[in-house]
Amino acid sequence: MKRAAINRYQFLPPSQLYKLLGARRTDITRVESMLREYFGKPVVLLNAARTGVYLTLAAKGFKRTDEVLVPPYMPKCMLDTIAECAVPTLHVSPATKAILLVHQYGYPQKMDKVLTLARAHNLLVIEDSAASFGSTYRGQMVGNFGDVAIFTFPKALQTVLGGCLVTEDVEVLDFARAYLKKQDTLVWRCTGTLALLPHIFDVPTTAPWLRRIANHLVLVAYSQFKYFPNPNKRVCHLFPKTREEFMRQIEVRKRNLAIFRSYFAGTPAYPTAIEEDADVVPFFIPYFADYEQIPHLLRALALIGVESEQYHFDMNRDMFNSHYAPSIIVPVHQGLSEAQMRMVCSTLVRASQDSRI
């Protein structure tokens, strides 16, 4: 198989390390100001979005007898972050005090249904909008429904690391800003910069020995973002310079989704209901298929250099009434041209037809 030429993320390749040069502390102020205007709410920049979950739970006084409702596909790093203050759980109980409401791949949860149940259980609502820059539900921007929202930069932009917490909760804001000020020391700033290296070099085009070193650094650095939460000026330097550039990148993702839709909308591979009441800016696009068909589809994509994987997607978009179906993830980031997006779609069409013969 070919090495993937179309990656799931839009990586910053080592040949473009020069983009990290020239960063200044004013880059942090610039990004914070841009996002505050974009969301219309106070914004706290962070080295990783999931640190916002820790800050929220800590601010609200959560303890290890309290539970946080999560979906079943949460990565270990998020589970570990929650476990600093509480216990992740898959079912609501009297001990459940919060819900981490995840907009999977940028596809909004059905907020009317989910919020009604969350409020009925008196849960603190943390919107995990990590992959959802620009997505809306019934005309309202994702991240504006819950008590607190978190967003991740590299899932939408070519920033390597970074994220933000968005809220009007004064208790959370005051705690987060005090925590950031306490942790903003020379030692932690240097450690935060070191954390950039694993993610820059952990790309398919990097030499295997260098990737092994990067993977080891990830184990050390990536798991410790709680201890160096302050936004890195180099990350912010990579953030779009203007709101127009930021919106343009969102529009490219929407364009690629429209191309995908033109091939598959209304078919079993992409049911129309998957976008019901939503305007989606996707991180990935789910392509639904049978378990027996998925290996053939993945091989076909790999042969044209496309990185994909089998996941499960909640077709109901409802954490309280989920229905997970097997799918593969289709890259949709702004690094893909229209021609590349059509190549991916046509490959899936042919591979699907071949797998039925």
Same domain, 41 and 172: yes
Least confident residue range of 212-216, 319-323, 332-336 = 212-216
The full DSSP string for 247-279 is HHHHHHHHHHHHHHHHHHBTBTTB-GGGGTTEE
Query: pLDDT value at position 9?
Result: 86
Q: Which domain holds residue 264?
A: 243-356
Number of domains in the chain: 2
**Taking Cα atoms as reference points, which of 86, 80, 78, 84 lies closest to residue 62?**
86
* pLDDT at position 5: 81
Q: What is the pLDDT of residues 160-194, one digit of tens each?
A: 889 999 999 999 999 999 999 998 877 777 666 76
Residue 55: the pLDDT is: 97
pLDDT digit string, tens, across residues 275-294: 999 999 999 999 999 999 99
User: What are residue 313's phi and psi, to 5 degrees?
Assistant: -120, 140
Do both 30 and 170 map to the same domain?
Answer: yes
At 287 the pLDDT is 98
pLDDT of residue 120: 96
Residue 171 shares a structural domain with residue 258? no
Does some domain include residue 208?
Answer: no
Question: What CATH number does the domain containing 82 carry?
Answer: 3.40.640.10
Residues 248 and 166 in one domain: no
Q: String of b and e for 53-77 (b: at least 16 CB within 10 Å)?
A: bbbbbbbbebeeebbbbbbeebeee
Between CA 313 and CA 303 the distance in angstroms is 24
164 located within any domain: yes
